[in-house]
Amino acid sequence: MKTSIVTYAGNLRTECLHEQSQALVITDAPRDNQGKGEAFSPTDLLSTSLASCMLTIMGIWAKRHDIALEGTRAEVLKTMASDPRRVQGIAIDIHFPAAAAFWTTAQRTALEHAARTCPVALSLRAEIEQQINFVYPNE
């Protein structure tokens, strides 16, 4: 089984079908690159997948250690470079829920390590700056 099937729909838009689940993701070229910006751009998905992977891997660690991670959110900011046009940096602020105020230093360190070593983070080129900020409640 293939991972996905991506079809060019015209007007700088693609339809990405996840074969196993049949979930559909639409991409659109951004306004600053001849598109309409009506959906995630491919580089938006790259940046967003880093945050999603970090939360997923932290979730796996948290589940194993009976820590409630629900409500944790990641805010993503992608910066682009030109010549060649590429993702230059990804800044992610990971905001933890109120329960995180009671986590030990060891738990926090383990979760942060899980995030920084997720498969997407380890797959990106070293030239793409990953600026990750962990935001705990009451800090």
Tell me: do 73 and 12 sit in the same domain: no
Residues of the chain with pLDDT > 90, as a percent, come to 96
Cross-strand bridge partners of residue 13: 10, 28
Tell me: do 8 and 47 sit in the same domain: no
Tell me: do 28 and 77 sit in the same domain: no
Tell me: do 18 and 58 sit in the same domain: no
Tell me: do 92 and 127 sit in the same domain: yes
CA–CA separation, 46 and 125 (whole Å): 12
Tell me: do 91 and 127 sit in the same domain: yes
Tell me: do 53 and 97 sit in the same domain: yes
Name the pLDDT band for 23 (thresholds 50, 70, 90).
very high
Tell me: do 52 and 120 sit in the same domain: yes
pLDDT in tens, 25-78: 999 999 999 989 999 999 999 999 999 999 999 999 999 999 999 999 999 999
For the domain that residue 117 is a member of, what is the CATH number?
3.30.300.20
CA–CA separation, 59 and 24 (whole Å): 24
Quote the number of domains for the chain: 2
